[in-house]
């Protein structure tokens, strides 16, 4: 009994224990089943809701690249790497290429059923070991599903669909069909979708012509196209001698070999060998093949128009996908090239073509002023340095680069020393504060075409590895004797003692870029939509250097937005007066100069200041409104390139009042900034696309307008009207669309930088706003300044406005027109009307800001006509006459300003009294030649002067 009891007790204890464990297990299992059930049910629901796929229409999906449409829905570009992409059939694809993909992406492809559990577990294990995802487990079938049917997002739901579709594809298609589809859709970098596109993109040949080494190179890209693409695009200045240059044709970018891609290619080859897809011998041959030398990037085709606009659309869409949908750059690029996006752009093809036609006509652009030395090299403006070498001075007829006898020497131990400041630049490249290497690059050169135009050829580098070069104490470069010993053929010597470098050891751009260059942007100010955009002339290709989006010195074209807008918005009026007389900077130096040589025009209204681009006035106003205010308004108008920090910044009068900025303003931002004045004071951020849909037409991006009020509609109208004066009768008359500037009026502003390097016209009509910039890629003077820009603006805009009904700028109700005197800025008196210059005119005012006081500048005084001084009671009455003068509110004394006399000084009231008629009323002691009454002297008036903002009679290029 006891025993039994004991046993029982033990049993029951044991039973208890077991049952607790059992219950626990049961609960866990149950929970697991329920969980699995729930998950299973959920997965089933997802699968049920998944749209059925139809593999027979697969190729219609494959055909869908992304498309860019114009504003009327017309296709302007199929977004793809080149125009040659076609679906290649399985039997046209080299077996090596198929094997390469299978070896690196999915070795069990021919045996699995769509997914590969073994690989999933292995991948998971690798991930756990590494603590982060390292290995992809997707089969080729899964990758195809992803390319065809799914978006990039990473969710369990998407994964379930992917697996489900993969099973389906495997049931409905043969392995070969799946591979064929996969190889035609896989993204292979540089915009290349599919192996055919990749074959052209990287090797400029048909896919069937690829050899084993090339096949492996292409297959290696898939995993991470931006990392393993064999091509890397660098800015020219970032290219070092350690880079292998593949294509140096572009003016700003150089395509070099991506060394990382070689290791990847070798891995692919190794895996092919391990899988017995290739023999040892084939493997060795392929490994040793100089794949770099095979790379020949295909030239991209463009449809009808230059790529400046579509490049901008593409980069804007990628940016929006990243910002709005949280995509990585890689994903965004993949969406753009692979996922059949429909991009509805803002471009108006009619306007774009007008613009491009104008840019093809070299007559629309000024010549250059080239100062050459006796050797034909072009000198800088001060003639102290060489801006551009004559191409044939740098490169001889055997295409060897020439280092003249005097530009080098050998030291005692036999190192070669290249002197600084000659035809080569020595630029240190730093890494962690240490000089990593010194780049030896060739200075820019020029050629002239048959039309005598100058073409700049960007200098590239001399290819010497970093370990062989260093600076000496004078910053010359020492090329070590070890290099010379190892490379005896690198520096050859001709009979004159010049050193020669063979073509393969240096680079200089083959493509010359014509000068001057130019950019123009046209925007519909009411919507912010970019209607046309050109970023250069006589350049071809894609990914061009886009001058429309790169900042340039704005010169005087900054004045309306940085000076007059804040002034008018803060209570100033168009009738306010500034005295255009000598002004001095903080060091007491006479500054600034006006463009009308060293002259000063005296009392002038703000309207005249804009109209005639008066520098002293802009500086004086900027001083009063404050630099911060200028910066504030520029920012409100979307200018992003103001430099506020650092030793050289824009927080000064030269930058804000005269446009001598550190970086400058891009033509695109300039157009949009003026657009805010054209659009009743509301800035709209310019946009290149309206919406983007996926291939089913679902909207995935909508480009909502970013808007921002800068000034009141009243202030905007007054500024517009002031700028209308520029075009009607000021520095910008060449921009007129009709003689009277009244049918479709133009308001705008010229801008010429002080050295005549940059010339602008920015202007608008009630329909469109546009900015033109003309200038050089190096600091060479233009033979003609803003006149050419204004002319080009009107050449284009006349055609753009053809057929549009006459329309004026609309005056807000709160703006009134008041008769004023333009010397005082106040209400006219009888005296004002006697000023023969016609200083009485109507001016617009925001209600409440109009003058209430009467003209106090015009005064009537009694003059002795024999002396032209103030009459005294002693002067004979026959000589005394009442005359009208101006009397400056703030007196000006030429004697205190180096004798400088402002142009209106002849009207200034005399301050001295007649001193020849003495108390006794005697006769004149010294007969004097009577001066003319200034108000009767036509020669003194401004109207007869021919005024141009451009310096004239400058030496022409030839
Ligand atoms: Zn007198």
Choice between 935 and 512, residue whose per-residue pLDDT is larger: 512
For ligand 1, the distance from its centroid to the CA atom of residue 906, given in whole angstroms, is: 19
Among 263-267, 638-642, 712-716, 930-934, the least confident range:
930-934
CA–centroid distance, 916 to ligand 1, in Å, is 6
The pTM assigned to this predicted structure is 0.74
Q: Which of 66, 556, 630, 688 is catalytic?
A: 556
Angle, nearest 10°, between helix axes 175-185 and 140-149? 50
Distance between Cα 813 and ligand 1 center (Å): 54
Cα separation, 593 vs 617, in Å, equals 11
- For residues 100-115, one letter each, b for 16 or more C-beta atoms within 10 angstroms of the residue's C-beta and e for the rest, the string is bbbbbbbbebeebebb
Instruction: Summarize pLDDT for 421-451 with one digit per residue, the tens.
Output: 899 999 888 878 888 888 899 999 999 988 8
Could you tell me what percent of the chain has a pLDDT over 90?
59
CA 868 / ligand 1 centre spacing (Å): 8
pLDDT band of 937, cuts 50, 70, 90: very low
- Residue 895 CA to ligand 1 center (angstroms) comes to 24
Confidence of residue 194 (pLDDT cuts 50, 70, 90): confident
Task: Report the separation in Å between the CA atom of 921 and the middle of ligand 1, taken as the mean of its atom positions.
Answer: 9
DSSP SS3 for 845: strand
**What number is the average pLDDT over the span 632-658?**
96
Structure tokens belonging to residue 681: 């004071």
**CA 363 → CA 280, 343, 446, 478, 914, distances in Å?**
64, 36, 20, 48, 60
Q: What SS3 string covers 726-764?
A: HHHHCCCHHHCCCCCCCCCCCEEEEEECCCCCEEEEEEE
pLDDT-derived band at 336, boundaries 50, 70, 90: confident
> If you measure from the C-alpha of residue 873 to the centroid of ligand 1, how many angstroms do you get, rounded to a whole number?
8
pLDDT tops 50 at residue 909: yes
* Residue 118 CA, distance from chain mean position: 51
Task: Please tell me the distance from the alpha carbon of residue 571 to that of residue 629, in angstroms, as a whole number.
Answer: 13
Per-residue pLDDT of 740-783, as tens digits, reads 999 999 999 999 987 889 999 999 999 999 999 999 888 888 98
Classified as helix, coil or strand, 765 is coil
What is the pLDDT at residue 746?
98
H/E run at residue 25: helix 2-49
Please give the pLDDT value at position 930.
Answer: 45
Q: Would you state the structure tokens that stand for residue 312, as one six-digit string?
A: 């901008």
Q: What is the DSSP string of 495-526?
A: TTS-EEE-GGGEEE-SS-EEESEEEEEEEETT
Averaged over 92-96, what is the pLDDT? 94
Q: What angle do CA 592, 595, 601 make, to 5 degrees?
A: 80
911 CA → ligand 1 middle, Å = 14
In this prediction, residues 846-850 reach a mean pLDDT of: 96
- The alpha carbon of 930 and the centre of ligand 1 are apart by a number of angstroms equal to 12
C-alpha of residue 856 to centroid of ligand 1, in Å = 26
Residue 932: is its pLDDT beyond 50?
no
Name the token pair of 583.
């002004």
Residue 114: per-residue pLDDT:
83
The confidence score (pLDDT) of residue 917 equals 87
Distance CA 328, CA 318 (A): 9
C-alpha span between 368 and 954 (Å, rounded):
10
Residues near ion ligand 1 (Cβ under 5 Å): 864, 875, 914, 917
Q: How many angstroms separate the alpha carbon of residue 914 from the centre of ligand 1?
A: 5
For residue 50, count other CB atoms closer than 10 A to its CB.
17
CA of 931 to the centre of ligand 1 (A): 14
Q: If you measure from the C-alpha of residue 929 to the centroid of ligand 1, how many angstroms do you get, rounded to a whole number?
A: 14
Decide if 937 contacts 928 (C-beta within 8 A).
no
Ligand 1 centre distance from Cα of residue 940 (Å): 25
Query: Could you say which DSSP state residue 910 is in?
Result: P
Q: 926: CA distance to ligand 1 center in Å?
A: 12
- Catalytic residue selected from 80, 105, 333, 669: 105
The SS3 call for residue 181 is helix
d(CA 936, CA 246): 74
Q: Which residues contact 210 (CB under 8 A, 6 or more apart)?
A: 94, 96, 97, 199, 203, 218
pLDDT of residue 939: 35
Q: Which tens digit of pLDDT belongs to each residue from 72-83?
A: 887 787 776 444
- Confidence band (pLDDT; 50, 70, 90) for 921? very low
Lowest model confidence (mean pLDDT) among 23-27, 529-533, 591-595, 869-873:
23-27
Ligand 1 centre distance from Cα of residue 869 (Å): 7
Four-CA torsion 662, 668, 673, 679, nearest 10 degrees: 180
CA of 867 to the centre of ligand 1 (A): 6
Residue 576 pLDDT exceeds 50: yes
Q: What is the largest CA-CA distance in the chain?
A: 166
Using the mean position of ligand 1's atoms as its centre, give its distance from the Cα of residue 932 in Å: 16
* Tens digit of each residue's pLDDT (9 = 90 or more) over 457-507: 989 889 888 889 999 999 999 999 999 999 999 999 999 999 999 998 998
pLDDT value at 946 more than 60: no
Hunting for tokens 């005064």 — which residue is that?
A: 859
Write out the E strands in 411-524: 416-418, 424-431, 434-442, 445-448, 454-457, 459-462, 469-471, 477-479, 491-493, 499-501, 506-508, 513-515, 517-524
HSE value, Cβ hemisphere, 13 Å, CA-based, for 216: 27
Q: How remote is the CA of residue 915 from the centroid of ligand 1, in Å?
A: 6
Going from the C-alpha of 71 to that of each of 122, 318, 950, the distances in angstroms are 51, 19, 38
Active site includes 105?
Answer: yes
Query: CA 251 from chain center: how many Å?
Result: 15
Ligand 1 centroid–CA 871 distance in Å is: 5
**Residue written as token pair 């703006």:** 815
- For 306-322, give one letter per residue: b (16+ CB within 10 A) or e: bbbbbbbbbebbbebbb
C-alpha separations of 946 from 489, 786, 949 in Å: 64, 16, 10
- Residue 552 per-residue DSSP state: B
Residue 490's pLDDT is 94
Mean pLDDT of the chain: 86
How many angstroms is it from 883 CA to the middle of ligand 1? 15
Per-residue pLDDT reduced to its tens digit, 149-179: 776 566 677 777 888 888 888 888 889 989 9
Can you name the residues that pair with 187 across neighbouring β-strands?
Answer: 193
Kindly report each contact of residues 927-934 with a partner whose C-beta sits within 8 Å and lies 24 or more positions away, as own/partner.
Answer: 928/866, 928/867, 930/865, 930/866, 930/868, 931/868, 933/883, 934/906, 934/907
Pick left, alpha or beta for residue 537 (phi over 0 → left; psi -120 to 50 → alpha; otherwise beta): beta
Evaluate if residue 540 carries a pLDDT over 90: no
Nearest to 868 by CA among 935, 922, 921, 918: 935
Whole-angstrom Cα distance, residue 247 to residue 240? 14
Mean pLDDT of 59-85: 69
What pLDDT digit, counting tens, does each position of 782-841 carry? 988 899 999 999 999 999 999 999 999 999 999 999 999 999 999 999 999 999 999 999
Q: At what angle do helices 329-338 and 308-325 cross, to 10 degrees?
A: 120
Structure tokens at 570: 């803060």
**Residues in contact with 796: Cβ distance below 8 Å, sequence separation at least 6, in sequence order:** 354, 355, 358, 520, 522, 770, 772
In degrees, to the nearest 5, what angle opens at C-alpha 210 toward C-alphas 102 and 206? Answer: 115
- Separation between Cα atoms, residue 756 and residue 134, nearest integer Å: 58
Predicted local confidence at residue 643, as pLDDT:
96
User: Quick one: average pLDDT of 9-19?
Assistant: 52
What is the pLDDT, as a whole number, of residue 941? 33
| Average of per-residue pLDDT across 713-729 | 98
Measured CA to CA, the distance from residue 167 to residue 117 in angstroms comes to 13
> Ligand 1 centre from 920 Cα, in Å?
12
């Amino acid at each position: 009994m006891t025993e039994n009891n004991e046993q029982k007790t033990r049993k029951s204890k044991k039973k208890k224990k077991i049952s607790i464990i059992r219950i626990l297990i049961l609960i866990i299992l149950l929970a697991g089943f329920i969980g699995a059930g729930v998950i299973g049910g959920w997965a089933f629901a997802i699968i049920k809701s998944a749209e059925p796929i139809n593999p027979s229409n697969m190729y219609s999906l494959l055909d869908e690249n992304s498309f860019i449409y114009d504003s009327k829905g017309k296709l302007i570009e199929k977004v793809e790497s080149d125009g040659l992409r076609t679906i290649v059939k399985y039997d046209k694809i080299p077996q090596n290429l198929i094997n390469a993909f299978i070896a690196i992406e999915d070795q069990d492809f021919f045996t699995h059923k769509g997914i590969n559990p073994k690989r999933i577990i292995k991948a998971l294990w690798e991930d756990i070991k590494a603590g982060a995802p390292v290995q992809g487990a997707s089969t080729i079938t899964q990758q195809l599903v992803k390319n065809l049917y799914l978006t990039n997002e990473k969710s369990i739901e998407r994964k379930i669909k992917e697996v489900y579709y993969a099973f389906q594809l495997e049931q409905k298609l043969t392995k070969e069909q799946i591979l064929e589809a996969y190889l035609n859709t896989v993204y292979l970098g540089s915009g290349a979708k599919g192996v055919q596109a990749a074959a052209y993109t990287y090797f400029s040949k048909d896919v069937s012509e690829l050899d084993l080494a090339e096949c492996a190179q292409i297959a290696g890209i898939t995993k991470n196209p931006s990392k393993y693409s064999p091509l890397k695009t660098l800015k020219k200045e970032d290219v070092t001698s350690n880079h292998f240059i593949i294509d140096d044709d572009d003016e700003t970018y150089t395509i070099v070999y991506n060394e990382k891609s070689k290791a990847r290619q070798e891995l692919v080859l190794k895996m092919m060998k391990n899988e017995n897809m290739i023999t040892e011998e084939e493997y060795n041959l392929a490994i040793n093949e100089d794949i770099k030398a095979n790379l020949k990037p295909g030239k991209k085709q463009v449809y009808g128009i230059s790529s400046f606009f579509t490049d901008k659309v593409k980069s804007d869409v990628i940016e929006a996908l990243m910002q709005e949908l949280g995509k990585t750059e890689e994903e965004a690029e993949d969406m753009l090239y692979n996922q059949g996006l429909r991009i509805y752009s803002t471009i108006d093809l009619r306007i774009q073509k007008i613009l491009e036609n104008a840019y093809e006509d070299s007559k629309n652009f000024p010549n250059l002023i080239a100062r050459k030395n006796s050797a034909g090299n072009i000198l800088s403006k001060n003639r102290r340095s060489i801006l551009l070498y004559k191409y044939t001075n740098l490169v001889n007829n055997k295409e060897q680069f020439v280092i003249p006898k005097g530009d080098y020497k050998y030291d005692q131990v036999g190192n070669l020393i290249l002197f600084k400041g000659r035809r080569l630049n020595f630029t240190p490249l730093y890494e962690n504060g240490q000089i990593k290497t010194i780049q030896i690059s060739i200075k820019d050169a020029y050629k002239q075409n048959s039309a005598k135009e100058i073409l700049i050829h960007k200098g590239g580098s001399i290819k010497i590895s970093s370990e062989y070069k260093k600076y000496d104490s004078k910053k010359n470069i020492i090329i070590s004797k070890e290099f010379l010993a190892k490379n005896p053929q690198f520096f050859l010597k001709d009979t004159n003692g010049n050193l020669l470098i063979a073509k393969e050891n240096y680079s200089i751009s083959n493509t010359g870029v014509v000068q001057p260059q130019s950019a123009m942007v046209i925007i519909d100010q009411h919507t912010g939509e970019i209607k046309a955009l050109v970023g250069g002339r006589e350049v071809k290709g894609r990914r061009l250097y886009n001058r429309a989006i790169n900042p340039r010195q704005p010169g005087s074209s900054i004045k309306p937005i940085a000076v007059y807008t804040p002034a008018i918005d803060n209570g100033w009026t168009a009738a306010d007066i500034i005295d255009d007389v000598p002004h001095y900077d903080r060091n007491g130096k006479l500054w600034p100069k006006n463009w009308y040589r060293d002259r000063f025009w005296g009392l002038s209204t703000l309207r005249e200041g804009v109209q005639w681009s008066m520098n002293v006035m802009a500086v004086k106003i900027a001083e009063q409104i404050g630099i911060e205010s200028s910066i504030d308004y520029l920012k409100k108008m979307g200018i992003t390139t103001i430099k506020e920090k650092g030793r050289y910044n824009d927080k000064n009068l030269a930058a804000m009042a005269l446009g001598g900025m550190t970086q400058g303003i891009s033509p695109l931002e300039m157009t949009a900034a003026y657009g805010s004045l054209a659009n009743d004071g509301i800035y709209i951020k310019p946009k290149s696309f309206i919406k983007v849909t996926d291939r089913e037409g679902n909207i995935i991006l909508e480009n909502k307008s970013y808007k921002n009020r800068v000034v009141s509609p009243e202030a905007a109208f007054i500024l517009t009207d002031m700028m209308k004066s520029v075009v009607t009768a000021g520095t910008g008359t060449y921009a007129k669309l009709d003689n009277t500037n009244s049918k479709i009026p133009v308001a705008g502003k010229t801008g010429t930088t002080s050295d005549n390097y940059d010339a602008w016209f920015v202007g608008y009509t009630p329909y469109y706003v546009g900015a033109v910039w003309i200038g050089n890629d190096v600091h060479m003077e233009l033979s003609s300044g803003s006149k050419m820009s204004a002319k080009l603006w009107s050449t284009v805009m006349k055609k753009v406005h053809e057929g549009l009904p006459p329309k004026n700028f609309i005056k807000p109700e709160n703006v009134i027109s008041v008769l004023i005197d333009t010397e005082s800025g106040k209400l006219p008196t009888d005296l004002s009307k006697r000023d023969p210059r016609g200083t009485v005119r109507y001016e617009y005012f925001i209600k409440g800001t109009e003058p209430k006081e009467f003209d106090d500048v015009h005064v009537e005084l009694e003059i002795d006509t024999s002396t032209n001084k103030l009459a005294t009671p002693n002067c004979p009455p026959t000589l005394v006459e009442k005359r009208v003068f101006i009397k400056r509110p703030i007196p000006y004394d030429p004697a205190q300003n180096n004798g400088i006399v402002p142009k209106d000084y002849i009207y200034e009231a005399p301050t001295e009294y007649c001193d020849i008629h003495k108390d006794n009323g005697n006769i004149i002691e010294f007969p004097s030649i009577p001066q003319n009454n200034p108000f009767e002297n036509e020669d003194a008036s401004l109207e007869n002067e021919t005024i141009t903002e451009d310096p004239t009679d400058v030496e022409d290029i030839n």
